[in-house]
Structure 1
Amino acid sequence: MSFYDGPNDPIRLSTYFGKKGKVFPAVTLIILAVFSPLAIKNFIIGEYPLATAISLFVLTFSADSYALLRGRKLPINEHIVASLAVLAVTLSLFTLGDGTIFWVFPVSIIMSFLFPIRTAIVFNLPLLLSATIYVLLNYQVADAMRLFFALLMTITVVNLLLRHIDSLHELLKEESSKDALTGALNRRQLNLFLKDALANKLHYHNDSTLIMIDVDHFKQINDLYGHAKGDEVLIRLASGINTQIRESDLLFRVGGEEFVILLPNTTVETAEKVAEKLRASIRTSSLIEDHPVTVSLGICATDNNLTQTKWMSCADKALYAAKQRGRDRACWYDLNRDRIEDVAA
């Protein structure tokens, strides 16, 4: 369990660049190519504790990297991997001497880029302490202080930069997943959640239901009041819907004035009640003063033989039927009978 509250993945690079992209595997190969020969060399020269520490770091890091690349849970906690990295550098300092002091800086930076920020900071502190103690024991106090502040500055600057990268990453994720106007999730996100809902139905037999919503006569609103007022209606509509659905329900904007609600683990009977409640609430709300705004709704629940395309198509057919039958109403697509029924008001 990571105690970092930024990116959720315990290996930082796989969060940003993708477990199956080019960057994370390349970094993994570089680490293996650099540290594996060092482990072999130290076994040859008889530095067995150091060789063992480096070998364990390589093995544990390799095991976690392989698991991430395969989309599996980490077999070894990242704190253990970081601890082995610190141990290997500390042993190299106190066994091999001066020539290894330069390894402190790249290892510190590698840990900062590989691990979540808090994990990196926690394990950079003993690295800073051990390097300072080594220089203090073998050189003058002034040399130890220079190393201490140089390494401290390196750690600080790297982690400040990474915090900025984190904020940009989160902003990019939000902007790429949400509709800029209403804050609802976008169509790309809908496709991902539809896939999950259908898999949930197939494997666990849990129903999910779609409610497709379209604002009636929206072109007239734009023509009468202007596009700015039309945008305001959509913003207020999305906000109102979000206040009336559960936290587990998801609202998506899929077109100009068209929205979709995905209700996980919800039967069509429950979805009908939700749709009718939303329809009545929107009709009585004052989205535009002295101009009632209504919506039409189409409902369709999951089925074992559904594809994403067919599921959306059936909900869209139900929505079209609601508009054809007079608007300001909800219809649902009965997959078993292959027909569309009105939802009782």
Structure 2
Amino acid sequence: MPAKYNAKYSLRLNTYFDGQGKVFPALSLIIMVIFAPLAVKNLIIGEYALGLLIAIFICAFLADSNALLKGRALPINENIIAILAISCVSLTLFTLGAGTIFWIFPVSIIISFSFPLITSIIFNSLLLLTATTYVFLNYDVADSLRFFFAFLLTACAVHLLLRQIDALHTLLKEESSKDALTGALNRRQLNLFLSDALANKIHYHNDSTLIMIDVDHFKQINDIYGHAKGDEVLINLVSDIRAQIRESDLLFRVGGEEFVVLLPNTQLKTAEKVAQKLRANIKTSALLDNRTITVSLGLCATGNGLTQTKWMSCADKALYAAKQRGRDRVCLYNLNQNRIEDVAA
């Protein structure tokens, strides 16, 4: 999502929802229900500084929440929002007294869930410093130490829990984006990257090329050697393709023995060389003992007015032609002339 703000990398909660800001409307409602009455109450009782500060915090949070939901740049830096929240709690504590000490804990937990580890530790340390200062000034040492260790234990427990959640989220995201057998990206990821490539063509006029790859006579391999050997061939094939393409190129499994390589910012002539190199190297690779494995490849580059469906369809037609014309070859779909051509070895 090149055009969208990358707050998903700086806000922990946003990463759990793929940077779409889905959680923030619910948080906004909670903030409004809880804090708006507090702001009004403090303005009524004459605590104008506190009431105004809480109102500013609410408005700032709502502005950023709306921006995140729409994928726009944050009008107010997220760190400023956290500082406003800490300032509200601190001023509440020193203005209204000990009865408000309990606000420290929910604010600390929300900060922990909202920010990356280091950032949340810094903000929680500020909270702890403020609250502990107040407690030591107004309570005896024993009670002050009880509060200090209770807060510290709560913060540590929350951070340990969040580390486990982060690890599980990363694992789940990886498993949902990759093919379980080969580790190649799956069809859902292909659709996302095709959309980005087409947008790149429209906005920046940068070509990208699809290479569709199909293993020749794969059914025979399964029938003769068994499905376990067939799986081994696919795993070795993916490893072989990855070794030959650039780090920026993307490999997807879209069917049983069918794969797609997306070459971003790559014109058709360059892609033809890549495809022929892939075909030749796969043929000489030891993907299966005592049997030469070949592949057929179909190419199609981006063009004006091209949709995802048509792009895939044209690459698939080129692949089908390669198989019809004898396999172990590369064909391309020429969008300008609306025809399929052989690619010279």
What TM-score do you get using the length of structure 1 for normalisation? 0.94
Letter in 1 for 2:122: V
Match of 1:4 in 2: none
Contact 2:8–2:18, Cα closer than 8 Å, also in 1: no
Question: Structure 1 residues 21, 59: CA separation in 2 closer, same or farther (over 3 Å shift)?
Answer: closer
> 1:303, CA displacement in angstroms?
1.1
Tell whether the 8 Å contact from 1:19 to 1:25 is kept in structure 2 after alignment. Answer: no
Q: What does 1:296-307 align with in structure 2 at a 5 Å threshold?
A: 296-307=296-307
User: Which residue of structure 2 aligns with residue 342 of structure 1?
Assistant: 342
Between the aligned partners of 2:202 and 2:128, the Cα distance in structure 1 is 53
Q: Report matched runs for 1:161-240 at 5 Å.
A: 161-240=161-240
Q: Which amino acid aligns with 2:337?
A: R
**Residues 105 and 151, structure 2, Cα contact 8 Å, conserved in 1:** yes
**Equivalence map 1:1-345=2 (5 Å):** 8-17=8-17, 23-345=23-345
Q: Report deviation, 1:118.
A: 2.3
Are the aligned partners of 1:218 and 1:257 in contact in 2 as well (CA < 8 Å)? yes
Which residue in 2 is equivalent to 1:3? none
SS of the equivalent of 1:214 reads strand
Query: In structure 1, the residue corresponding to 2:189 is in which secondary structure?
Result: helix
Residues 259-268 or 222-231, more deviating: 222-231
Aligned mates of 2:120, 2:130 — CA distance in 1: 16
Q: Which runs of 5+ in 1 are unaligned?
A: 1-6
User: In structure 2, what is the Cα distance between the partners aligned to 1:21 and 1:55?
Assistant: 22
Change (3 A) 1:17 1:267: closer
**CA positional deviation for 1:18:** 5.7
Which secondary structure does the structure 2 equivalent of 1:261 belong to?
A: strand
CA displacement, residues 79-120 of structure 1 (integer Å, 9 cap, x when unaligned): 111111111111111111111111111111121222233222
For the 8 Å contact 2:210–2:263, the answer to whether it is kept is yes
Q: Which amino acid aligns with 2:198?
A: L
Retained in 1: the 8 A contact 2:201–2:207? Answer: yes
CA contact 1:109–1:155 (8 Å) conserved in 2: yes
Whole-Å separation in 2 of the counterparts to 1:103 and 1:55? 17
Corresponding residue for 2:3?
none
RMSD: 1.6
* In 1: Cα distance, 2:184 partner to 2:307 partner: 23
Counterpart CA distance in 2 for 1:17 and 1:276 is 40
- Measure the CA separation in 2 of the matches of 1:20 and 1:170: 17
1:151 CA displacement: 0.9
**What is the CA-CA distance between 1:45 and the residue it aligns to?**
2.1
Name the count of aligned residue pairs: 339
Tell me the CA shift for residue 208 of structure 1: 0.9
Q: How has the CA–CA distance of structure 1 residues 20 and 280 changed in structure 2, closer, same or farther, with 3 Å as cutoff?
A: closer
Write the letter of the residue equivalent to 1:101. I
Please tell me whether the aligned partners of residues 279 and 296 of structure 2 are also in contact (alpha carbons under 8 angstroms): yes
Sequence identity (%)? 72
Gaps of 5+ in 2: 1-6
CA contact (8 A) 2:177 2:185 kept: yes
Q: Distance in 2 between matches of 1:128 and 1:186?
A: 46
Q: Tell me the secondary structure at the aligned position of residue 299 of structure 1.
A: strand
Q: Deviations over 1:244-267 (max 9, x none)?
A: 111111100000110000111111
Q: What's the secondary structure of 1:220's corresponding residue? A: helix
Contact 1:283 1:295 in 2 (8 A): yes
Question: Partners in 2 of 1:254 and 1:135 — Cα distance?
Answer: 61
- Distance in structure 2 (CA, Å) of the matches to 1:297 and 1:18: 33
Q: Secondary structure at the match of 2:206?
A: coil
Match for residue 4 of structure 2?
A: none
The 2-side partners of 1:184 and 1:280 are apart by 21
For residue 19 of structure 1, report the CA deviation from its aligned partner: 6.3
The answer as to whether partners of 1:17 and 1:24 remain within 8 angstroms in 2 is: no
Q: Is the 8 A contact 1:18 1:24 kept in 2?
A: no
Distance 1:251 1:112 in 2: 36
Deviations 1:203-260 (A, max 9, x none): 2221111000001111111122211111111111111111111111110000011000
One-letter amino acid of the structure 1 residue matched with residue 188 of structure 2: R
Shift of 1:20: 5.8
Q: CA deviation at 1:22?
A: 5.8
1:200 to 1:22, Cα distance in 2 relative to 1, 3 A? closer
Displacement of 1:11 after TM fit? 3.0
- Give the TM-score taking structure 2 as reference length: 0.94
Give the whole-Å Cα distance in 1 for the aligned partners of 2:230 and 2:189. Answer: 24
Q: Deviations over 1:282-305 (max 9, x none)?
A: 011111122111100000111112
